[in-house]
Amino acid sequence: MADARDPALLTLAEALTDDPRPTLIWGERMAALRELLPPDYPARYFTDDLATSKALGCPVGVVPELAGESRIALMMPRAKALLELRVALAQTLLPPDGTLWVAGHQQDGVKSAETLLEATGAPQTTYVVHVKRRCRVIATTLDPTRPAPPATVERFEQRVPVTTGAGDYELVTLPGVFGHGRLDAASAALIAVLDEREPGYRRALDVGCGAGVLGAWLAKKRSRATVDLVDVSALACAAARRTFAVNGLDGTAHLSEIEDLAKASWDLVVSNPPRHEGREHAHELTARVIDAAAWRLGKGGRFICVANHAKSVTETLDRAFRTVEVAHHAPAFRVWDCTR
């Protein structure tokens, strides 16, 4: 999570301080922003990320509600498709004469936000509010005589056909959720292992579920099993729920840390944790998932996951499980099959 030295947060804080008015600030990795603004600044926060929500004590979800604000400030997300979604939703939420800001670093592509704002279809004036530290705050003012066309989250869905030994289904993905618009290679490899080994379970858990591609396999394979999914992203949980609804599957997606779930409650845990946010972070997250998964399994329970073959990963697996086996080799990852 970004700290008070984050140049994009500093630049946004300066721009907000120069123009104080009620503002909804929407994004992730922005917990330090509150300490950069005056204590009485009229701002509220909204996020899709559970950790940011806990740090700021703010609502977490997919679409915010305004409480009289006429300005929304978006932190530039990593995925351009997610920016497009949030810009469209923000323009629908704002009053006809509302103002929309986008703040971010040049290396994150904030300059492209100006082009996006100009091309969204709502008549408006787009301009740069503040430039500093290789960061920008870009604004657009809506035309009160011609409101923006309504936008919904469903408009930004992409559906991906998935063929498995458990049956075929559609994966419903959303911008900002890993693997948007595709079935990633690691999930496909894990599904192939599930098809081949057909683990038994009455209660199964998909950790870091994303759009629910693994959880859907679990529910498709054993329709009478209890299937739970967990993720720290509200967007991921929303996509997973849509995947289950579209395919007529039964399961529950929880917006939660895995550590907050009950211990010794599942027979099978599957996971393809993120590995795309830097090696150190990926190793730390994988170790957390491994340890937490072990505690959520009863005796004899199985953990089938994607991880790399780093020494720290193998040591953590060996410490947490009675048996550890590599079920699939790939250059960038392994699929591990472990028994508690």
pLDDT (tens digit, 9 = 90+) per residue, 64-122? 999 999 999 999 998 999 999 999 999 899 988 899 999 999 888 888 888 888 776 55
- Does a structural domain hold residue 2? no
Does 88 share its domain with 227?
no
Helix intervals (H) in 127-278:
185-197, 213-221, 234-246
Tokens representing 25?
A: 């600030």
Mean pLDDT over 244-252 rounds to: 98
Calpha distance 109→93 (Å, rounded): 24
| Residue 34 shares a structural domain with residue 54 | yes
Could you tell me if 121 and 227 lie in one domain?
Answer: no
Token digits for 189? 């490899």
Q: Which of 102, 127, 153 is the last residue of a domain?
A: 153
pLDDT band at 1 (very low <50, low <70, confident <90, very high): very low
The predicted structure's pLDDT at residue 267? 95
Task: Check whether 327 has a pLDDT greater than 50.
Answer: yes
User: Quick one: what percent of the chain has pLDDT higher than 70?
Assistant: 94
Q: Are residues 93 and 194 in the same domain?
A: no
128 and 176: one domain?
no
Predicted confidence at residue 286, as pLDDT, reads 86
Please state which of the ranges 48-57, 90-99, 178-187, 204-213 shows the lowest mean pLDDT: 90-99
In a shared domain, residues 170 and 318: yes
**Contact 100/72 with Cβ under 8 angstroms?**
yes
Q: Would residue 306 count as lying in a domain? A: yes
Kindly tell me if the per-residue pLDDT of 154 is higher than 90: yes
Condensed to tens digits (0 to 9), the pLDDT of residues 258-274 reads 889 888 789 999 999 87
E strand map for the chain: 23-26, 43-46, 71-75, 99-105, 124-132, 135-142, 158-162, 169-173, 203-207, 226-231, 252-255, 266-271, 297-307, 323-329, 334-339
1: in domain: no
Taking residues 148-170, report their average pLDDT. 93
Residues 147-170 have a mean pLDDT of 92
Q: Are 290 and 320 in contact (CB under 8 A)?
A: yes
Count structural domains, the chain. 2
User: In angstroms, how far is the first alpha carbon of the chain from the final one?
Assistant: 33
- Residues 137, 26, single domain; the answer is yes
Asked if 162 and 308 sit in the same domain, the reply is yes
Question: Taking the alpha carbons of 142, 147, 149, 153 in that order, is the dihedral positive or negative?
Answer: positive
| 331 and 213 fall within a common domain | yes
Q: Is residue 222 part of a domain?
A: yes
Q: 284 or 139: which carries more pLDDT confidence?
A: 139
- What would the pLDDT profile of 2-37 be if each residue is shown by its tens digit? 555 889 999 999 999 999 999 999 999 898 999 999
CATH of the domain at 106: 3.40.50.150
CA pair distance 172, 151, nearest whole angstrom = 18
Say if residue 140 is in the same domain as residue 220: no
Examine residue 26 and state whether it is found in any structural domain, yes or no. Answer: yes
pLDDT tens by residue, 288-323: 899 999 999 989 999 999 998 888 889 999 999 999
Q: How far apart are CA 217 and CA 307, in angstroms?
A: 19
Please tell me which residue, 97 or 39, carries the higher pLDDT value: 39
Mean pLDDT computed over 239-246: 98
**For position 280, what pLDDT does the model report?**
52
Position 181 pLDDT exceeds 70: yes
How many angstroms separate the CA atoms of 246 and 237, rounded? 14
Rounded to whole angstroms, the Cα distance separating 105 from 156 reads 25
Residues 24 and 41 in one domain: yes
Q: Which of 134, 153, 172 is where one domain is finished?
A: 153
Write out the residue range of the structural domain in which residue 119 sits. 7-153
| 226 assigned to some structural domain | yes
Whether 31 and 146 map to the same domain: the answer is yes
Residue ending a domain, among 153, 181, 206, is 153
103, 76 contact by CB (below 8 A): yes
- What are the structure tokens assigned to 230, written together? 């967990």
pLDDT at 69: 95
